[in-house]
Structure 1
């Protein structure tokens, strides 16, 4: 599946939650998806317009009092069917293009100090990301337990077609947290690998 097709389906999936503007979608990507999925802001509006042209979404102008006019996009029945067909299919394997692994592989003929420097820098970077993810996980766990969600999560809940009761809010936020857990476990594996490499290289 091409990158363009994946972008189409990703935006359809977000619109299946609630109607949004292009800016709303970009903000949601930055808040909730950026650790595993990213979209170029310049591609969001052309993609939304293409979805409208193909009948997968519809557009209306929001000229609410006190607000600048903006286009609000919502998913159509055709778009819902397209999204549901796609989400039930097996996912493509992650694309492999890892600069760290490439550098480490190519450092094999260089002084050991070079390899160690590469791994130390990578470990430091990954540890910083892990700390950030762990903080976010703690916030989400507390939010689910107390039904008290941070502003960025409440923004996702607001405007959905069906009001969410406590159980549905907890379920949706739980999915957010478990997605984050995937990232946490992946980073913990990378840190373990870094430690093995440093031990092999004699630190």
Structure 2
């Protein structure tokens, strides 16, 4: 059985928002989806072309003075049906996280505890920056986009990210404490 291309559905979903150009889609991905779903810039235009070929979207080209022509994409009824079908399909597996910090920690018996602690502290700092970013996005949605139909769902998704990030921050603190306590009892 052919595996579904979730990028196709991500872009179809973005076409239901105010994003209708490749550039607008890229901006929305950078500001929101990239926090939980990676789509490279190089995937966007080929996927938009495929959506048009599959009649899931249409494209309209507008001539602009002194600029390249602008292509605007609109989801079709067939595209909306495909998106709806995908949305209703049950999730078949829990996604597997690839985390280099956890991989290194797994083998950290082979390095100095100070190095492990520095890596965890660095990771924790990056998580705290991410958490601050999430809070800023939340404030922006609450103040500027609160009237959009999608905003409650954007906030639900953001809450998931905030909770996971907060849990990871707490985990870093606890793990650092345990490593330090282990060193104290060894020495």
Q: What band does the TM-score fall into relative to the shorter chain?
A: 0.7 to 0.9
Unmatched tracts of structure 2, length 5 or more: 182-187
Cα separation, 2, equivalents of 1:56 and 1:140: 29
Cα deviation per residue 1:24-74 (whole Å; 9 max; x = unaligned)? Answer: 111111122221122111111111111111111111112266764211111
SS of 1:69's equivalent in the other structure is strand
1:200 Cα shift? 0.7
Query: Could you tell me which residue of structure 2 aligns to residue 178 of structure 1?
Result: 156
Deviation at 1:96, TM superposition (A): 2.4
**Residue 181 of structure 1: how far off its partner (Å):** 1.3
Three-state SS of the structure 2 residue aligned to 1:114 is helix
Contact between 2:19 and 2:28, CA under 8 Å: does it hold in 1? no
2:15 pairs with 1:10: no
**TM-score with structure 1 setting the length:** 0.79
Give the paired residue count.
Answer: 179
Task: Name the counterpart of 2:85.
Answer: 85
Question: In structure 2, how many angstroms separate the alpha carbons of the residues matched to 1:16 and 1:140?
Answer: 17
TM-score (norm 2): 0.85
Q: Does 1:196 align with 2:174?
A: yes
Q: 5+ residue gaps in structure 1?
A: 144-148, 154-165
- Alignment partners' CA distance in 1, 2:18 and 2:87: 17
4+ residue segments displaced more than 6 Å: none
Q: Distance in 2 between matches of 1:41 and 1:19?
A: 15
